């Protein structure tokens, strides 16, 4: 059974760096083609894809946020970490990590999601 | 402003059918697979349809997806009260080199 869970601060100040950890079980990030992605959702708004990391350490980022994002993995701990610099109130919302399955067509989609971590940005 | 366009709301009566549209362009829906997620308030999205029209195990066959050109649709037949949720479409965009989402459609079962 695949599970994922996000953890991190619920409140960050403007200009600070947000660090979120995704701890997962039920799959190995070392499996070819498998990845862990990050998606966020401001309150009452649309989903927005942020980043994806594969077991071979290949990383993909949303071009609009790439300069502020870093995603890393620790396969021994079954964890993926997302950092986002220079946080702003518009970055507030729920941040989800999710499992990207192997796909023979190379598509990016997510079949298992964490419960989400709600992050507020305020001084 | 989302790259993919969905109606913000939709409604239907129990037992009836409804279709939710998702409009894009040649760089996203027109050239890549479309995926649909179902999301209840305060919970994570759940994969509903993958590769345009495939259902993951456990998703009732009341849910179906289709794609034509630069648009996609999610159809729900035999509407039930438990289908009340937000529905999101997504696809990869070759021009943006990014996954893009629709704004989401809130379904109300009257």
Chain A hits for B92, CB-CB cut-off 8 Å, are 107-108
- Comparing C-alpha atoms, which of B105, B101, B77 is closest to residue B91? B101
> Is residue B32 predicted with pLDDT exceeding 90?
yes
Residues 9-68 of A with CB under 8 A from B: 39, 45-49, 62-64
pLDDT at A32: 84
Cα B89 to Cα B21: distance, rounded to the nearest angstrom: 9
Model pLDDT for residues B41-58, shown as the tens digit of each residue: 999 999 999 999 999 999
Cα A101 to Cα A116: distance, rounded to the nearest angstrom: 19
Model pLDDT for residues A55-104, shown as the tens digit of each residue: 888 999 999 999 999 999 998 899 999 999 999 999 999 999 999 999 88
Q: What dihedral do alpha carbons A54, A57, A62, A67 form, nearest 10°?
A: 160
pLDDT at B1: 85
| Confidence at B3, pLDDT banded by 50, 70, 90 | very high
**Residue B38: its H or E element:** strand B34-39
- Of A46, A108, A111, Cβ closest to residue B102: A46
CB contact under 8 A, A110 and B47: yes
CB contact under 8 A, A47 and B45: yes
Q: If 0-12 CB within 10 Å is exposed, 13-18 middle and 19+ buried, where does residue A30 land?
A: exposed
Chain B hits for A40, CB-CB cut-off 8 Å, are none
* Residues B8 and B88 sit within 8 Å (Cβ to Cβ): no
Chain A hits for B33, CB-CB cut-off 8 Å, are 105, 107, 109
Nearest CA in chain A to B2: A46
Q: What is the mean pLDDT of residues A13-31?
A: 95
Chain B hits for A105, CB-CB cut-off 8 Å, are 33, 51
Nearest CA in chain A to B39: A47
Report the mean per-residue pLDDT for chain A: 95
pLDDT at A30: 86
Q: What percent of chain B clears pLDDT 70, i.e. is strictly above it?
A: 100
Q: Which residues contact B43 (CB under 8 A, 6 or more apart)?
A: A115
- Comparing C-alpha atoms, which of A84, A114, A74, A64 is closest to residue A14? A84
């Amino acid at each position: 059974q695949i599970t994922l869970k996000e953890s991190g601060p619920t409140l960050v100040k403007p200009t600070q760096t947000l660090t979120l950890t995704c701890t997962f079980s039920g799959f190995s990030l070392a499996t070819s083609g498998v990845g862990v992605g990050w998606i966020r959702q401001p309150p009452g708004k649309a989903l927005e894809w942020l980043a994806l990391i594969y077991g071979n350490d290949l990383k993909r980022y949303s071009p609009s946020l790439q300069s502020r994002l870093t995603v890393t993995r620790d396969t021994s701990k079954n964890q993926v970490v997302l950092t986002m610099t220079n946080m702003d109130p518009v970055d507030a919302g729920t941040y989800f990590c999710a499992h990207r399955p192997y796909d023979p067509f190379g598509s990016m989609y997510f079949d298992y999601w964490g419960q989400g971590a709600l992050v507020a940005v305020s001084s | 402003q989302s790259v993919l366009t969905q109606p913000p709301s939709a409604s239907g009566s129990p037992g009836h059918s409804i279709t939710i549209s998702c409009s894009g362009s040649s760089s996203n829906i027109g050239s890549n697979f479309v995926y649909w997620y179902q999301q209840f308030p305060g919970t994570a999205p759940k994969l509903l349809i993958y590769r345009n029209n495939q259902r993951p195990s456990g998703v009732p066959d009341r849910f179906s997806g289709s794609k034509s050109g630069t648009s996609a649709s999610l159809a729900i037949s035999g509407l039930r009260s438990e289908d009340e949720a937000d529905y999101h479409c997504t696809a990869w965009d070759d021009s943006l080199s990014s996954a893009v989402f629709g704004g989401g459609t809130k379904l109300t079962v009257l």
